[in-house]
Chains A and B, each alone.
Chain A
Amino acid sequence: MKLQHYLGGLEGLGPLTIETRVFVEEWETRIFGIHTAMMALSPQLSLPATPSAFHTVWTWADLRKGAEAMNPFDYFKYRYYEKWLGGISGYFVANGYITEEELEARTAEYLGDPDKPLPRGGSPEIDRRVERYLEEGDSPHRDLAVPVEFREGDQVRVRNVPTLEHTRLPGFLRDRNGTVVTVYPGAYGYLTDTGADGIGAPMAVYCVRFDPQDLWPGNTEPNLSLYADLYAAYVAEPTAELAAPSGDASA
């Protein structure tokens, strides 16, 4: 199991760091821009082809997988965009676009002369596609008839699926009981196939309400509701023991 899948509810972390800036260092804006361009240029999107040499798939799932694969101590050690910088530069090396030696040598050049200008050039079609991606997005909604097993008001149990590298199931919900509050219309794919974890192909998505007293008995606050959007693969019939409403029966 990966700690990163089980962050919700983790105890003992101490006070918050309330930093309201989006970027705390100028360089963070650059890695954010690179990531967004990669998503926009990723070849599975139905956007106009460009002369960009980028030919491999890059989505949020790749970025998330990288962060979830980290040593959990490093996950806490490094700031948000430091993790992005590590994951994204590693991707370009692993996919043969650049070598680690090239990156190290160029890094040394810019360390010695931080103001040395960037190279020039590139086709404007690339930037037009990036703008178009931001404006149009990449909806996972599919107009497909898929099985919808549950209705609003139904009690459901969250499956404890065998996740390996990546999931969209918050760990603290596994094996817990909740109530469907919304069945989202249509079907929703996910950016990648998560294998035995179960998502990827278009399927129903439910908004499920949980009572935090069921999630963390005696160790949470009163008068709370926690809602999570859960792909159908993560949701099952309640077992007999869990079928009886727990906590506030009127909820």
Chain B
Amino acid sequence: MTDRFHHPSDREARSAARAKALESLLIEKGIITDRTVDTVLKVFETKMGPFNGAKIVARAWADPAFKRRLVEDTPAAIAEMAGMNDLPAGMAGAEGEHMRAVANGEGVHNLVICTLCSCYPWPVLGLPPYWYKDPTFRSRAAREPRAVLKEFGLDVPETVEVRIWDSSAQIRWFVVPERPAGTDGMSETELAALVTPEAMMGVAVSKAG
């Protein structure tokens, strides 16, 4: 028998205490301040997050010319929205220095993965959910994406090409899902509410209501 995969019963309490001990020592030693961690977390609540990606996708749904520009030159299209104050500053910031959008439609479904780690477009999507970082997802999505998508509740028929984007160098990829049926006349704000991080990574599609 092996205890290789045994965890102590106080697993989380120990990690919590160790993380707090580390933060406390780093503050004492002048490496960070007592506000540094909260400063970082606030950026991800207010400036960098999936709420930006949702606005970008909603704009692409509402304006086909913008969608073309977004796919052809992602940073320029995002900068265009930021220039109209429709996105906060920092859209080419950390982990968003080189982003590219790929669009679903016309017999194509896109899926973004990172088999080596967890590369993710921070400014537009925030931080990656656990499923994206999980070694099982990262391993399986490369070889059997349809089986993986089925577990997410998404059936992609064999007539639709699945394009898998492995984020292995500078580009951080995201997906523009298809505009769902039954959304005619919706405002961009209403449309943005239909866009999930999962849809922008390609493990879900957007649905009306």
Interface set of A (CB-CB < 8 Å, partner B): 4-5, 7-11, 13-22, 24-34, 36-37, 39, 41, 51-54, 60, 64, 67, 73, 75-77, 79-80, 82, 85, 88-89, 92, 97-98, 102-103, 106-111, 114, 118-124, 126-127, 130-131, 133-141, 167-170, 172, 184, 188, 205, 207, 212, 215-216, 219-231
Contacts and interface: CB of A to CB of B under 8 A. Distances in A.
Nearest to B112: A227
B130 A20 contact: yes
Given A9-B139, A16-B148, A30 B19 contact: yes
Nearest to A29: B41
B36 A172 contact: no
A22 B19 CA distance: 17
A9 B161 CA distance: 19
Contacts of A106: 21-22, 24-25
A7 B17 contact: no
Given A30-B37, A205-B170, A52 B15 contact: no
Interface stretch (B60-68, B113-121, B174-182): B113-121
Interface of B: 4-5, 7, 10, 12-41, 43, 47-48, 89-90, 92-98, 113, 115-118, 122, 126-131, 133-140, 142-148, 151-152, 158-171, 197-198
Contact of A19 (B24, B118, B129): B129
A122 B32 contact: yes
A124 B113 CA distance: 37
Given A7-B138, A92-B26, A228 B168 contact: yes
Q: Please report whether the interface of chain A is mostly helix, strand, loop or mixed according to DSSP.
A: mixed
A136 B122 CA distance: 12
Given A20-B129, A121-B27, A27 B39 contact: no
A4 B129 CA distance: 20
A172 to B, nearest CB: 7
12 contacts: A16-B148, A22-B130, A32-B40, A33-B36, A33-B38, A37-B40, A77-B5, A82-B15, A126-B33, A131-B43, A170-B116, A207-B171
Nearest to B48: A134
A231 to B, nearest CB: 6
B93 A135 contact: yes
Contacts of B198: 20
